[in-house]
Amino acid sequence: MNDRATAHREELLAVFDREMRERARPDGPGVRVERAGDVVRQVGTGHDWNGVVWSSPDLDSVRADAAIAAQVAHCTGLGYGEFEWKLYEHDRPADLGARLLGAGFVPEAPETLLVAPVAEQPLTVRLPEGVHLRTVRDEADVELMARAHEQAFGSDGSRLRHQVLARLKEDPEHFVGVLAMAGDEPVSSARMELYPGTGFAGLWGGGTVEAWRGRGVYRALIAHRAGIAAERGYRYLQVDATEDSRPILQRLGFTALGTTTPYVYRPAS
């Protein structure tokens, strides 16, 4: 990586850390963001995403252990079924992941944090023949979204249903849900979370059922959401990408800023 590319990456990472982590906004209705000592966390009900989004960059081993213990106590006291510490590879101390592991957190698959300026994204939507896009507007659409999600990722869509229904009901202005439909069948679904005041729009989902992969559906959903973000004045797109999605996004001009790993704590029942 040359000096210019390194400087660009460091600039994007600094903006992301400041706006999306240290100054995090709630990602949905009914949740709140709290500064608790050396961490910033989001808290809500058991159906919401609850966890740490930022930790102080000068965290040392003693303060790290204290912060971890405090979050375990917090999670246990509220009766959460799980609580996540979202760890980024540049977070300190360098052995923070090992300290979380020692406290009972379990790491899940790492993803790559990618960011791209909206102005540099291709906005032309090209879909394979027989596929059209449909905006998620009501409960029936949410069911189609959950079906596509379950088929694409092989995971339960219950939390997705709850979160999307809540967004459509209480905060539709800052949420975009879209389906790729082949006739009456959903073949892919994706979401975009708009974070006012940050300049960032987060791209989530984008799972395509196996039979439709490799045909440009995922890229079309990126372009569609990028166009909406541009219309609404957002500067950056952000994605936590799997290894399947990362190469596509990098070809579209996204910059990899490092990995992020969910460390999940589940109290003993």
Q: Per-residue DSSP letters for 32-46?
A: EEEEETTEEEEE--T
Q: Catalogue all structural domains in the chain, each as residue range(s) with its CATH number.
A: 3-112+260-265 (3.40.630), 122-252 (3.40.630.30)
Token duo for residue 169: 């009901």
pLDDT tens-place values along the chain, 269 residues long? 678 889 989 999 999 999 999 999 988 778 999 999 999 999 998 888 999 999 999 999 999 999 999 999 999 999 999 999 999 999 999 999 999 999 999 999 999 999 999 999 989 999 999 999 999 999 999 999 999 999 999 888 888 998 899 899 999 999 999 999 999 999 999 999 999 999 999 999 888 999 999 999 999 999 999 999 999 999 999 999 999 899 999 999 999 999 999 999 999 86
Alpha helices in the chain (DSSP H): 3-16, 61-78, 96-102, 139-153, 158-170, 217-231, 246-251
User: Peptide bond before 196: cis, by omega within 30 degrees of 0?
Assistant: no
**Distances in whole angstroms, Cα of residue 268 to Cα of each of 22, 36, 101, 106:** 30, 24, 15, 13
Token duo for residue 188: 């892919």
